[in-house]
Chain A
Amino acid sequence: DTGVSQNPRHKITKRGQNVTFRCDPISEHNRLYWYRQTLGQGPEFLTYFQNEAQLEKSRLLSDRFSAERPKGSFSTLEIQRTEQGDSAMYLCASRLAGNTGELFFGEGSRLTVL
């Protein structure tokens, strides 16, 4: 297993367009997390799944953001009608529920909205 995989690594889009990011977690991990990170800041929690169930969403997550994990394996994060303020690094992480709090992070998907 090569760890948490995210793609695309970079995405440049025009304001108003929709974008989708994919995350493939470590295969035996049942918990999957999405974080957002802007320059000079720590990762900010967006949402997490346990298997296919989305258990928590941040209050900061607008209606334009939606995440899915349909089969409890990979996950997608879609942003509709992108705004310049959505420009950030989107990080995915996974772990086993019940284990320590350590999250294993992917390399992130960097979004630039023009």
Chain B
Amino acid sequence: GESVGLHLPTLSVQEGDNSIINCAYSNSASDYFIWYKQESGKGPQFIIDIRSNMDKRQGQRVTVLLNKTVKHLSLQIAATQPGDSAVYFCAELGEYGNKLVFGAGTILRVKS
């Protein structure tokens, strides 16, 4: 079946440094991926998405890279700030494109 997972459960970075959060997926037929940020006690918040016909997509301070050969997704956050501290999830649009399938999440801790 489908599965989306993350390599690192916790990532600690110094304020101002860049952060890289990784994600592996298993369904080679997936064609749409999203990164969500979730702060404590809140619902997931959309960060950035990417379709499988792209390798890279940039937003404000964030970049998503997609490597379809090895089924790997990463989220890069530039100049990480304390407000970036949260849990980050990658999600894959599941079979038939009807629902998102989430990975387990990576905790990002930003040290001041």
Contacts and interface: CB of A to CB of B under 8 A. Distances in A.
Decide whether A and B assemble into one complex. Answer: yes
Interface of A: 4, 33, 35, 40-45, 48, 55-56, 91, 93, 100-108
B102 A100 contact: no
Contacts of A56: 98-99
Given A42-B103, A42-B105, A102-B34, A48 B98 contact: yes
A97 to B, nearest CB: 9
Which of A43, A56, A104, A107 has most B Cβ within 10 Å?
A43
A41 B99 CA distance: 17
B25 interface: no
A107 B104 CA distance: 19
Interface residues of B, number: 24
29 contacts: A35-B102, A40-B104, A41-B104, A42-B4, A42-B102, A42-B103, A42-B104, A43-B89, A43-B102, A44-B102, A45-B94, A45-B99, A45-B100, A45-B101, A48-B99, A55-B98, A91-B44, A100-B32, A101-B34, A101-B91, A102-B34, A102-B49, A103-B44, A103-B46, A105-B36, A105-B45, A106-B43, A107-B42, A107-B43
A7 B104 CA distance: 25
A103 B32 contact: no
B110 interface: no
Given A40-B104, A42-B102, A43-B44, 6 more contacts: A48-B98, A101-B32, A101-B93, A101-B100, A103-B46, A107-B43
Contacts of B105: 40-42
